[in-house]
């Protein structure tokens, strides 16, 4: 099975940028479609972005379209989430998730493997 470790979170001001990374080990990342989810205090875990196994297809929740970009480097076993124009409502713990297969999904239960999360806090 694959192990996932996120990094890159932090405290930023509204309008700033952050780049989250997810490093995979144990199995080749190219075996998995990947996604980022987030969970704010008192809220359910929310889909943010996903990318298929080859990197040729991606999908975003409407609230981050045009601001966030998901990418992957299968040779380096990493997935990234570039977050620009951050807003206070983006504050959450961000999780990297992996599912076996070619194509992405937007529901959390379809992802078998999860990282421990990284905190992103955006101040106004």
| pLDDT tens-digit map of 39-86 | 999 999 999 999 999 999 999 999 999 999 999 999 999 999 999 999
Q: How far is CA 11 from CA 8, 69, 112, in A?
A: 10, 19, 29
Element (H, E) at 40: none
**8-state DSSP, 87:** -
pLDDT at 78: 97
d(CA 7, CA 117): 8
Tell me how far apart the alpha carbons of residues 123 and 11 are, in angstroms, rounded to a whole number: 7
* pLDDT for res 34: 98
Tokens 């991606």 sit on residue: 58
Radius of gyration (C-alpha) of the chain in whole angstroms: 13
Separation of alpha carbons 11 and 96, rounded Å: 19
pLDDT tens-place string over residues 79-110? 999 999 999 999 999 999 999 989 999 999 99
Distance (Å, whole) CA 46 – CA 36: 9
């Amino acid at each position: 099975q694959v192990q996932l470790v996120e990094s890159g979170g932090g405290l930023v001001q509204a309008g700033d940028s952050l780049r989250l990374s997810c490093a995979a080990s144990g199995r080749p990342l190219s075996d998995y479609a990947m996604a980022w989810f987030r969970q704010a205090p008192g809220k359910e875990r929310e889909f943010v972005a996903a990318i298929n196994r080859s990197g040729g297809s991606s999908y975003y929740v409407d609230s981050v379209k045009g601001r966030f970009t998901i990418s992957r480097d299968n040779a380096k076993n990493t997935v990234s989430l570039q977050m620009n124009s951050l807003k206070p409502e983006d504050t959450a713990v961000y999780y990297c998730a992996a599912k076996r297969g070619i194509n992405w999904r937007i529901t959390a239960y379809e992802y078998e493997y999860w990282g421990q999360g990284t905190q992103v806090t955006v101040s106004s």
